[in-house]
Structure 1
Amino acid sequence: MSLLRIALRFLILLVSQAAMGALPAFAQSGEPGCRPEMASYRLPIQRAQLTRDEVRLTFVGHATFLIETPGGVRIATDYNDYVRPPVTPDIATMNKAHSTHYSNRPDPGIKLVLRGWDPEGKGAARHDLTLGDVRVRNVPTNIRTLDGGTDYDGNSIFVFEIGDLCIAHLGHLHHPLEPGHLRALGRVDVVLFPVDGSYTLDQEGMLEVLKSLQARVMIPMHFFGGGTLERFLSRTRDLWPVERRGEPAITLSRAGLPARPTVIVLPGR
């Protein structure tokens, strides 16, 4: 092989490796902080080794978590084009309040794409299905419209039942929960909730939601930066203990839940 041909092959290899490491371009969104760096969490996700009673949660960023079951099912919450897990999930849930909570171009490898609204506008979305060892269902909620009105049943809280553990992702919740919502949700062991206090429900209202749910683990999301998160945590000082974790992933089981409701902060945005 000539030296010129070797040099050309080496150059092609370098260019292809650089292309593989490049970040895609991102559109702008109506919510602050949804810049390309939001997708910079290149988490080295390996398939979780879990016992039959365990679930692993990884905070990818914004409102997106990767949920992994003992049977190997992977779920991405509020799946969108800005913040995605570095693996193709089996299930993707979405809400439509902003483009950072849904995708019109989901990965074709996803087995189930569950939208928290009825795309045909005929009423509330209704999901209750099982894939492998996870049951996924939704509880419809309302959202504010740009003109100040209400889009009834425009979003959903998604509930994931895995073994004995019940996980609720509040999505882009805009209002307090009524008794009907609480009955539909049932027991919640782990709640993933937004704390920005403006685009979603205000922080005082969110505190009331958490009090009504009485989940043993409460994980904040959708906070756009440390200042907003710290303001929320300052409001919880006399209510619940706070644990700060250094890693974005946490493994949970019902038997291992804290004895009293606890806020657990995972690094992310």
Structure 2
Amino acid sequence: MLRFLTVVFALLGPLAAPAAAQDVPRSSECLAMSQAQPRATPVSLRLAAARADEVAITYAGHSTYYIDTPGGVRIATDYNGYYKVGRLPDVVTMNRAHSTHYTLFPDQRIQHVLHGWNDDGTPAQISERIGDVLIRNVTTDIRRYFGDDSNGEMIKDGNSIFIFEVAGLCIGHLGHLHHQLDESHFAAIGRLDIVMVPIDGTYTMSLDGISDITRRLRASVVLPMHRFMTPLDEFMRRIGQQFAIDERTERTLMISRDTLPGTPTVIILQGI
């Protein structure tokens, strides 16, 4: 009898065994957390996490931020090859509004080049786990440009909002956003802890329009980009008094899930 049961379990084992971890794609934690109730974490655990899970975010210029993850992955947003800080990125994301937001000839040593558009007009669909970061996108429409001039025509799904999920943080980059977001966009984005927002007021959206989106997203940290000559006090006046402002003398922000500010804060890094 014992021998019989051994044979049966041997046959059933492969069928009953759980799938290997690498065969099960991890879903978006930021989408899950946007629907979950806040959970308290003991102070001792928060302090330990802050030391182990810090993410470095460095402003390079225009719309390019470098994100360095705890696992050593380096990401550059709206990468054009000109704004460089330290070592070559492992991952670059691009949008095609102007040549300042992409390059068709990136350094061949860059392992992952993620376009926020598809050349055939279909929506780009990105959901890739690279090292310790999940990178996904939410497409938006974009105005058609000839050179650097817009003719007003909109290209459907020509831009992407990129979301980077790492170390418990949900980091969003709005790209070259040209229109208001609807409920389907906000649902697809989920919760953001940190958001990079274009504040030029003309080439992307009006200050009123981008301020409405910033208030709705209500991220703990707002990192301006694509500024040109926009007065910061004008942007601050539009997004409202519920946002604090923190001007830094350094170019890099070190942050973790448990060191996020308690009040929504616009952080101005050097060079913005």
Q: What TM-score, normalized by structure 1, do the two folds share?
A: 0.78
Q: Aligned with 2:258: secondary structure?
A: coil
Amino acid in the other structure paired with 2:251 = P
Counterpart CA distance in 2 for 1:248 and 1:166 is 20
Partner of 2:192: 188
Counterpart CA distance in 1 for 2:129 and 2:178 is 28
Partner of 1:241: 244
Q: Measure how far apart 1:105 and its partner are.
A: 1.0
Q: Measure how far apart 1:237 and its partner are.
A: 5.4
Greater Rg, structure 1 or structure 2? 2
Q: Measure how far apart 1:51 and its partner are.
A: 4.2
Partner of 1:70: 70
Query: 2:228 matched to 1:224?
Result: yes
Gaps of 5+ in 1: 1-49
Q: Aligned with 1:263: secondary structure?
A: strand
The answer as to whether partners of 2:212 and 2:239 remain within 8 angstroms in 1 is no
Amino acid in the other structure paired with 1:118 = N
The answer as to whether partners of 1:75 and 1:90 remain within 8 angstroms in 2 is yes
Counterpart CA distance in 2 for 1:85 and 1:152 is 33
The answer as to whether partners of 1:196 and 1:229 remain within 8 angstroms in 2 is no
Partner of 1:18: none
Amino acid in the other structure paired with 2:158 = G
Counterpart CA distance in 1 for 2:226 and 2:151 is 23
Counterpart mapping for 1:86-125 below 5 A: 86-121=86-121, 123-125=122-124
| Aligned CA distance change for structure 1 residues 267 and 237 (closer, same or farther; 3 Å) | farther
Q: What TM-score, normalized by structure 2, do the two folds share?
A: 0.77
Deviations 1:210-253 (A, max 9, x none): 1111100001011013x443432333452311000101100111
Deviations 1:28-57 (A, max 9, x none): xxxxxxxxxxxxxxxxxxxxxx94321100
The answer as to whether partners of 2:177 and 2:204 remain within 8 angstroms in 1 is yes
Counterpart CA distance in 2 for 1:59 and 1:268 is 7
Counterpart CA distance in 1 for 2:271 and 2:127 is 30
Higher helix share goes to which structure? Answer: 2
Query: Out of 163, 178, 183, which is 1:179 matched to?
Result: 183
Counterpart CA distance in 2 for 1:90 and 1:125 is 20
Partner of 1:82: 82
Please provide the CA RMSD for this pair.
1.4
Counterpart mapping for 1:3-22 below 5 A: none
How many residue pairs are counted as aligned between the two chains? 218
Query: Percent identity at matched positions?
Result: 48
Gaps of 5+ in 2: 1-49, 145-149
Deviations 1:151-172 (A, max 9, x none): 0000100000002100000010
The answer as to whether partners of 1:142 and 1:154 remain within 8 angstroms in 2 is yes
